[in-house]
Chain A
Amino acid sequence: MSALDWTVLFGALACFVAYGVWRGRGERDLTDFLLAGRSMRWPMVALSVMATQASAITFLSTPGQGYADGLRFVQFYFGLPLAMVVLCITAIPLYHRLRVFTAYEFLERRFGPGTRTLAATLFLIQRGLAAGLTIYAPALVLSVILGWDVRWTCVLLGGLVVLYTTSGGSKAVSHTHVLQFSIIMATMVVAFGMILAALPAGVGMGDAAWLAARLGRMNALQLHFDPNDRYNLWSGLIGGFFLQLSYFGTDQSQVGRYLTGRSVAQSRLGLIFNGLVKVPMQLGILSLGVLVFVFYLFVAPPLFFNPAESARLASGPGAAAWQTLENRHHAAAASRAVHARELLAARHRGAAAAEEAATQALREDQRALGEVRQSATQLIRAHDPGGQTSDTNYVFLVFVLGHLPVGLIGLVFAAVFAASMNSTSAELNALASTTVVDVVKRLWKRGADGRRDVWISRLATLGWAAVAVGFAETCSRLGSLIEAVNILGSLFYGTILGIFLVAFYLPRVGGSAVFTAALIAEAAVIACFRFSGLSFLWYNLIGCALVVLLGLALEPVLGRRRAAAA
């Protein structure tokens, strides 16, 4: 990177931290620190909710998924708008009316302390680990690309977030979300335009989409039903609905965001905006990856996008074999470029036969490139069994470094840092909220003292930051990191959602039944993960359904025992 890029990157990071510290000053009590005084208007709620969900992983993995796998990942988000509507009708009015700090407080009022503790504990485990992944994922990619040590990159990312999250709490988090998310979106739009401009003369958006479609990259909708297929319309609408319902309805990192709304209406509008914008936004980010794929149809891409692995192979004992693969790769890429141009020329002439012949040749080149890449990953594994064989997360940044202008490169890197800080800050704030409200204040009943409570929350934030950075240091080789985060979430979300659904809609089911049902459901979900090939989106449905059904089945037994004991 040039001096200008480094200046832009570090200038932006300094601005984010300073702005967060400045906007977060003046916390007087827990409501200020954990819920920004419940004073936010809907645009702030909306951007904060979106920024929390869109971590750096979103901006690194998603274009990579678009490049490697096309648009099909967008189906993962189809359930989100439905979940937003359900939450606007049910959860938001309830949480506002009860004036809770965390979603789990509601469970104690409904079922008693045991269920509240169970749900809060599941959340703390899941979100504490996920916070580590949220730091580690971009740190790994940035460290490889920038040549930094991954451990220090984790410490830098965690440290920057801690500076303003600890001092300013939820208010600092919400305000920095707005600033950072706006910069991220602007950067993505500019990057999209620059990639379009970088395509060969005469190749426009329509040609790019058509070429991508010819090579199977416009597969945005798959109608077949297959429970083992991760992304299709049905897994997205049904499994995705339960995942998003659980994430937005019961995960404190999101509940804490929309509870900052000054009224039910402001919180609702924040979620409605998210429901309207999220799917098109994800489609846009995936399209960025597809556009990069089309760009590399005309310019030879690297054999392997992870520069550290490539360099290791090129200079190690496997150098000769790697060079052979490089030669095969460049020959196939050159042939693909020729056939892509022929295909476009045939399209512009309207020559159907030539078009078909060029399409077949292009697909043959693509298959050859795929074989060379497969050989490359086998070579990586042969020389280092623990080597990284997935390079999806590196595609976008390698493209940015190689083909975007000076200044914009620094801005893209700043946007990746910003995205990581966004989600990490919301996670730390939520972990601190749950720790203080659902654990500390229940065990240590000393009455209200605003200043003391704020300091306890600050210490909790700091403690969870240390846990997250510590876990981040131990993460490695997780394949596509966005999938790792979603799989981790799906292991717990279904059970937590089931508890909340019983709480909302089944008033005759009591605490003992739902507590036992939740333990069995969680064991079943973990068994599915360990022993079946079922797509992870279905874990949410399984966990949720088991809690509801077992809760109903156990209530006659456990409820009667409870009544007898009373």
Chain B
Amino acid sequence: MTRDPLEEDRVEPRSAGPAAPGGVEPPPVLGTWPRLYALVLAVLALVIAFCFWLSRLGS
């Protein structure tokens, strides 16, 4: 197998952030990634509910 010429350019980041052993570092809030994803979905649900309220305004 030929070597990908791009591999020759790969360099390690000069300031790699800390990573948890064996995985991705946890988020700075809520402790775990699934909880953060749930927050995003909850905010979307709230925004849609707000849009529903706006649509009913003045009727």
Contact = CB atoms under 8 A, between A and B. Distances in A.
Contacts of B59: 213
A85 to B, nearest CB: 5
A262 B25 CA distance: 12
Contact of B58 (A101, A214, A222, A265): A214
B57 A213 contact: yes
A99 B3 CA distance: 15
Nearest to A264: B24
Nearest to A290: B54
A356 to B, nearest CB: 12
A38 B51 contact: no
B22 interface: no
Contacts of A29: 9, 11
Contacts of B24: 93, 263-265, 268
Contacts of A219: 55
A539 B5 CA distance: 36
Q: How big is chain A's contact interface, by range? A: 35 or more
Interface stretch (A160-168, A249-257, A439-447): A439-447
B36 A263 contact: no
B57 A209 contact: yes
B32 to A, nearest CB: 12
B54 A71 contact: yes
Contacts of A437: 6
A262 B58 contact: no
A220 interface: yes
A264 B33 CA distance: 12
A195 interface: no
Contacts of A266: 17
Interface in B3-38: 5-6, 8-11, 13-19, 24-28, 33, 36-37
A447 B5 contact: yes
Given A213-B58, A264-B24, A279 B9 contact: no
A233 B48 contact: yes
B22 to A, nearest CB: 13
B57 A221 contact: no
Contacts of B40: 81, 84-85, 272, 275-276
B5 A265 contact: no
A51 to B, nearest CB: 20
Interface of A: 29-31, 37-39, 41, 71, 74-75, 78, 81-82, 84-85, 88-89, 93, 99, 101, 105, 209-214, 218-222, 233, 262-266, 268-269, 272, 275-276, 279-280, 283, 437, 441-442, 445-448, 450, 453
14 contacts: A71-B54, A82-B44, A88-B33, A89-B37, A99-B10, A210-B57, A220-B50, A262-B15, A269-B27, A272-B37, A275-B40, A280-B47, A441-B5, A453-B9
Interface of B: 5-6, 8-11, 13-19, 24-28, 33, 36-37, 39-41, 43-44, 47-48, 50-52, 54-55, 57-59
What 10 A-B pairs are tightest by C-beta distance, nearest first? A213-B58, A220-B51, A448-B8, A213-B57, A221-B51, A263-B17, A38-B13, A81-B44, A220-B54, A265-B25
